[in-house]
Amino acid sequence: MFFNFIKKNKLLSFLIAIGFFAYFLITFPSGSYYCFNHQCGVYFWGAHEHDGIWHLAVAETAFSQWPPRHPVFAGANLSGYNIFLDLVIFILAKTGIPAIIWYFKILPIIWFILYTFLSLKLAEKIARSYWFKVFFLFFNYFGASFALFFTLYHKKSIWGSSSIMASQPLLSLVNLQFAFSLIFILLTLITFFEKNKIKKILIYSIIIFINLALKFYGGVVNLFLILGLILIEKNKLKEKLFSSVFIGAFALISLLIFYQPFSATKTGLPLIFSPFAMVHNLIEERDLFYLPSLVNARYFLYEKGFGPRLLAIELFSSFLFLFFNFGVRFFGLVYFLIGFFYKKINRLHLIIFLTIIFSCLLTISLIQKGMWWNTIQFTYYGLFLANIFAALFLTKLLSQKNIKLLFLAIFLILINIPENIDVLRGFNPSRKTSFIDKKELEALNFLKKRDDGIIFAPSLDINTIHKESAYVSAFTGKPTYFNDRHVLSITGVDWQSREKRIADVEKINLEELPVRYFYFLKKDKNYPTFIQKINSIKKYKKIFDNQEVLIFEK
């Protein structure tokens, strides 16, 4: 059957092969042992050097209790964070296959197979066209923004184009939770075609339960999508209300179990209403669509209060935000609007379009506490759904059998390629990246075998994996006293007071810290001070010492 598919679908098969190779380069090299220029250790590329390690820390550390404990803020529970996939990895690691292998090797392969299969299955249901399948799969793999225009204009280069707009499909596996949440968006749209009403509602309920647990942003967008799909069903109003409440109950249960909202909101709501904050940088940044006179006018109008001119500036900035982030998909949205004007669209397309608008409105209206720009992730799902309209648009161009439109379609495909090349360049194994030295791995493995206890592992003030990272927790399976302010700022813990306690190395009282292990890196500039202090405390004994690390135990 496999070879028969290749024989009948050579172009699709080629696209799938290229896609697998590209996604392979994004994830597989990270988390593996290499030697580059006589520097041996476990290497991580791109965002994996922070985000991947953080999720490994959760999988290795958090689930020895429930509610799960915080990997880098010992004594606190981990709440208000998407932990479901980390919990799954924790369970899978019980098979004897390490969590790092599941995260960087096995699960990405499983995801790619599911993502490709479900994309093709949905394409068959939306439009019975071979070219629609090709275009839909292409955009699902390699859709890109129009950031290329900025780097070409300002730098005369394509390099850097993948890092100045919203993350595009090829970066999906950098955030494994996001990648798997796309599977459930695809399942939602496929389930819409299910004939059995009861079965459909049950599937929707399971989907939203898991989707919210996987990724909050995706769960919210998918809930809107599902409720919209229920609304357009040819059912009685009472049935629609019952279905909506039933599915809403599953969503609420998922939130209560996996996010512990009452605990997570003690330090304030995670999302803050701040309209248009996300779109301002398009006209403020010199490397983007820089319009200083318009920026000055906006600030001037702020002083006067909200009015039509200020609204016009904000809407123009929002248009730029959508146009450059959506890239070719923006023309797909225009194609939908033309069809809507001429009443040539169906109800499913309408709900998908409204869901795209909903996702973008959330991004434009809200910021997140800690990392204000994190709400851009709502738009990721709008970009994904817009792949449908981009594929429909290009399929329409080809169907016109016009040579000019054919060349236009080819151009609109090719313009996506440079940004993807830039993505792959960032994950090139030959490029300088972060790694954990083999000598430090010896220390971490030693500590992993010791009894459970809190670790004090000072972060280094250098731009390496040691600066702001959960790597000690990830590789020992034990919580650390204080690490990774990036994560602490978005997990709802009151970390500032603890930071003050350890900020001044000269004044810190190591004896008062409620920890069992002290993990000192010898390349830390504060290492001599720490050693002088701990050697004066008789109740701590040295249990490990090599060229890189010194470990004491209480």
| Residues 110-128: tens digit of each pLDDT | 999 999 999 999 999 999 8
- Judge whether 465 lies within some domain: yes
Average confidence (pLDDT) over 11-36: 94
Average confidence (pLDDT) over 388-393: 98
Residue bearing tokens 């209060």 = 305
**Range list of H helices, 63-156:** 84-92, 99-101, 107-126, 130-142, 147-155
Confidence (pLDDT) at 387: 98
What whole-number distance in Å separates Cα of residue 300 and Cα of residue 294?
10
The answer to whether 77 and 90 have CB atoms below 8 angstroms apart is no
Residues 447 and 302 in one domain: no
Structure-token pair, residue 83: 């932990």
Within 10 angstroms of residue 37's Cβ, the number of other Cβ atoms is 6
- Judge whether 26 lies within some domain: no
User: Which residues touch 215 (CB under 8 Å, ≥6 apart)?
Assistant: 82, 177, 178, 180, 181, 377
Residues 60 and 150 in one domain: no
Domain range for 524? 32-78+433-553
Average confidence (pLDDT) over 38-45: 91
Q: Which H helix or E strand runs over 485?
A: helix 485-488
**In the listed set 426, 454, 476, which residue is the last one of a domain according to the structure?**
426
Residues 393 and 333 in one domain: yes
The answer to whether 122 and 184 have CB atoms below 8 angstroms apart is no
- Judge whether 301 lies within some domain: yes
Confidence band, pLDDT 50/70/90 cuts, at residue 268 = confident
Average confidence (pLDDT) over 173-201: 96
Residues 349 and 475 in one domain: no
What whole-number distance in Å separates Cα of residue 297 and Cα of residue 551?
58
Residues 446 and 500 in one domain: yes
Confidence (pLDDT) at 462: 60
What whole-number distance in Å separates Cα of residue 301 and Cα of residue 293?
12
Dihedrals φ, ψ of 263, to 5°? -75, -40
Confidence (pLDDT) at 37: 84
The answer to whether 210 and 187 have CB atoms below 8 angstroms apart is no
The answer to whether 409 and 196 have CB atoms below 8 angstroms apart is no
**In the listed set 373, 391, 426, which residue is the last one of a domain according to the structure?**
426
- Judge whether 22 lies within some domain: no
At 193-246, the pLDDT tens digits run 999 999 999 999 999 999 999 999 999 999 999 999 999 988 888 999 999 999
CA distances from 63 to 17, 90, 113 (A): 37, 8, 28
Is it true that the peptide bond before 67 is cis, omega within 30 degrees of 0? yes
Structure-token pair, residue 68: 């799960």
Q: What is the dihedral of CA 221, 224, 225, 229, to 10 degrees?
A: 170
176, 182, 179: which is closest to 122 by C-alpha? 182
Structure-token pair, residue 465: 């994996």
Confidence (pLDDT) at 554: 87
The count of structural domains within the chain is 2
Residues 441 and 400 in one domain: no
Residues 114 and 141 in one domain: yes
- Judge whether 86 lies within some domain: no
- Judge whether 27 lies within some domain: no
What whole-number distance in Å separates Cα of residue 10 and Cα of residue 43?
36
Residues 455 and 418 in one domain: no
- Judge whether 530 lies within some domain: yes
Residues 473 and 340 in one domain: no
DSSP calls for 162-201: GGSSS--GGGGGGSHHHHHHHHHHHHHHHHTT-S-HHHHH
Confidence band, pLDDT 50/70/90 cuts, at residue 46 = confident
**Range list of H helices, 327-346:** 329-341
Residues 164 and 50 in one domain: no
What whole-number distance in Å separates Cα of residue 310 and Cα of residue 318?
12
Mean pLDDT, rounded, of the chain: 92
Dihedrals φ, ψ of 543, to 5°? -120, -10
The predicted model scores a pTM of 0.93
Residues 301 and 414 in one domain: yes
**In the listed set 391, 426, 461, which residue is the last one of a domain according to the structure?**
426
At 310-338, the pLDDT tens digits run 999 999 999 999 999 999 999 999 999 99
The answer to whether 325 and 145 have CB atoms below 8 angstroms apart is yes
- Judge whether 282 lies within some domain: yes
Residues 243 and 392 in one domain: yes
- Asked whether the predicted pLDDT for residue 30 surpasses 60, the reply is yes
What whole-number distance in Å separates Cα of residue 513 and Cα of residue 268?
27
What whole-number distance in Å separates Cα of residue 93 and Cα of residue 99?
5
Length of the chain as a residue count: 554
What whole-number distance in Å separates Cα of residue 525 and Cα of residue 504?
13
